[in-house]
Structure 1
Amino acid sequence: MRTAVVIGAGLIGTSIALSLSAKGVTVYLADREPMAVLTAAALGAGQAGEPPGPVDLAILSVPPGEIAPTLKDAQHRNVARAYTDVASVKSQAFEAIEDAGCDTRTYLGGHPMAGGERSGPLAARADLFEGRVWALVPTASTSDDTWHTVRTLVELCGAVPLVMDPHGHDRAVALVSHTPHLVASLMAARLEHAAENEVSMAGQGVRDVTRIAAGDPDLWLDILSANAGTVADILSELAHDLDEAISALRGLTDEDGTRRGKDAQALTGLLTRGCAGHGRIPHKRDALQGSYVTVSVLIGDQPGELARLFTDVGAAGVNIEDVFIDHAPGQVTGLVEMLVTAEAAERLTRTLRMPSTIMAR
Structure 2
Amino acid sequence: MSELTGPVEVVGTGLLGTSIGLACRRAGIEVLLTDASPEHVRTASGLGAGRPRRPEDRPQLVVVAVPPDHLGAEIVRALEDTDACVTDVGSVKTGPLAAVTGRPGAERYAGSHPMAGSERSGPLAASAALFDGRPWAITPHQGSGPEVVALVEALVAVCGGVPVRLTPEEHDRAVARTSHVPHLLASLVAARLADAPEGHLALTGQGVRDVTRVAAGDPALYGQIVTQNADAVLALLGEVRGQLDTLIAAVSNADRGSLEAVLREGVAGTQAIPGKHGAPVRPMRSVFVSVPDHPGELARLFADAGASGVNIEDVHIDHDPGRPVGLVELLVEESRADHLLTSLESRGWVTHR
- Give the TM-score taking structure 1 as reference length: 0.88
Q: Is the 8 A contact 1:154 1:161 kept in 2?
A: yes
Once the two structures are superposed, the pairs formed by residues 239-250 of structure 1 within 5 Å of their partners are 239-250=241-252
Which whole-Å CA distance do the structure 1 matches of 2:168 and 2:28 have between them? 32
Which whole-Å CA distance do the structure 1 matches of 2:335 and 2:216 have between them? 37
Q: Does 1:304 align with 2:296?
A: yes
For 1:207-241, what per-residue CA distance to the aligned partner results, in whole angstroms no more than 9, with x for missing partners? 11111111111111111111112211111110111
Q: Is the 8 A contact 2:9 2:53 kept in 1?
A: no
Tell me the SS of whatever aligns to 2:304. helix
Moved over 4 A (4+): none
Match of 2:200 in 1: 198
Q: Does 1:166 align with 2:168?
A: yes
- More off after superposition, 141-150 vs 348-357: 348-357
Q: Is the 8 A contact 2:107 2:143 kept in 1?
A: yes
Tell me the SS of whatever aligns to 1:134. strand
Q: 1:237 aligns with which of 236, 239, 258?
A: 239
Q: 1:214 aligns with which of 213, 216, 219?
A: 216
Q: Does 1:34 align with 2:38?
A: yes
What runs of 5+ residues in structure 1 fail to find an aligned partner?
253-262
Q: 1:292 aligns with which of 257, 272, 284?
A: 284
For 1:75-132, what per-residue CA distance to the aligned partner results, in whole angstroms no more than 9, with x for missing partners? 2222x63221111111222111114x14122221101112233332233333222222
Using a 3 Å threshold, how does the CA distance of structure 1 residues 338 and 42 change in structure 2: closer, same or farther?
farther
Match of 1:258 in 2: none
Q: Is the 8 A contact 1:82 1:106 kept in 2?
A: yes
Which whole-Å CA distance do the structure 2 matches of 1:23 and 1:338 have between them? 37
Using a 3 Å threshold, how does the CA distance of structure 1 residues 132 and 26 change in structure 2: closer, same or farther?
same
For 1:244-299, what per-residue CA distance to the aligned partner results, in whole angstroms no more than 9, with x for missing partners? 111221223xxxxxxxxxx1111111011100101111231343313333333221
- More off after superposition, 317-326 vs 343-352: 343-352
Which whole-Å CA distance do the structure 1 matches of 2:14 and 2:93 have between them? 19
Match of 2:84 in 1: 81
Q: 1:94 aligns with which of 92, 97, 112?
A: 97
Q: 1:266 aligns with which of 258, 266, 270?
A: 258
Give the count of matched residue pairs: 346
Using a 3 Å threshold, how does the CA distance of structure 1 residues 104 and 202 change in structure 2: closer, same or farther?
same
For 1:187-221, what per-residue CA distance to the aligned partner results, in whole angstroms no more than 9, with x for missing partners? 11112222222223222111111111111111111
For 1:152-187, what per-residue CA distance to the aligned partner results, in whole angstroms no more than 9, with x for missing partners? 211222221111111111111111111111111111
Which whole-Å CA distance do the structure 2 matches of 1:200 and 1:107 have between them? 52
Match of 1:135 in 2: 137
Q: Is the 8 A contact 2:80 2:105 kept in 1?
A: no
Using a 3 Å threshold, how does the CA distance of structure 1 residues 321 and 108 change in structure 2: closer, same or farther?
farther
Identity of aligned residues (%): 45
Q: Is the 8 A contact 1:118 1:215 kept in 2?
A: no
Which whole-Å CA distance do the structure 2 matches of 1:236 and 1:164 have between them? 24
Tell me the SS of whatever aligns to 1:142. coil
Once the two structures are superposed, the pairs formed by residues 340-359 of structure 1 within 5 Å of their partners are 340-352=332-344, 353=346, 354-357=349-352
Match of 1:117 in 2: 119
Using a 3 Å threshold, how does the CA distance of structure 1 residues 125 and 324 change in structure 2: closer, same or farther?
farther
Q: Is the 8 A contact 1:104 1:139 kept in 2?
A: no
Letter matched to residue 123 of structure 1? A
Q: Does 1:324 align with 2:316?
A: yes
Using a 3 Å threshold, how does the CA distance of structure 1 residues 199 and 121 change in structure 2: closer, same or farther?
farther
For 1:17-65, what per-residue CA distance to the aligned partner results, in whole angstroms no more than 9, with x for missing partners? 2322233332222211222223333333333344752223221112334
- More off after superposition, 347-356 vs 219-228: 347-356
Tell me the SS of whatever aligns to 2:117. coil
Using a 3 Å threshold, how does the CA distance of structure 1 residues 329 and 131 change in structure 2: closer, same or farther?
farther
Which whole-Å CA distance do the structure 2 matches of 1:24 and 1:339 have between them? 39
Letter matched to residue 116 of structure 2? A
Q: Does 1:43 align with 2:35?
A: no
Q: Is the 8 A contact 2:34 2:52 kept in 1?
A: yes
Q: Is the 8 A contact 1:71 1:102 kept in 2?
A: no
Q: Is the 8 A contact 2:72 2:95 kept in 1?
A: no
Which whole-Å CA distance do the structure 2 matches of 1:200 and 1:49 have between them? 53
Q: Is the 8 A contact 1:203 1:326 kept in 2?
A: yes
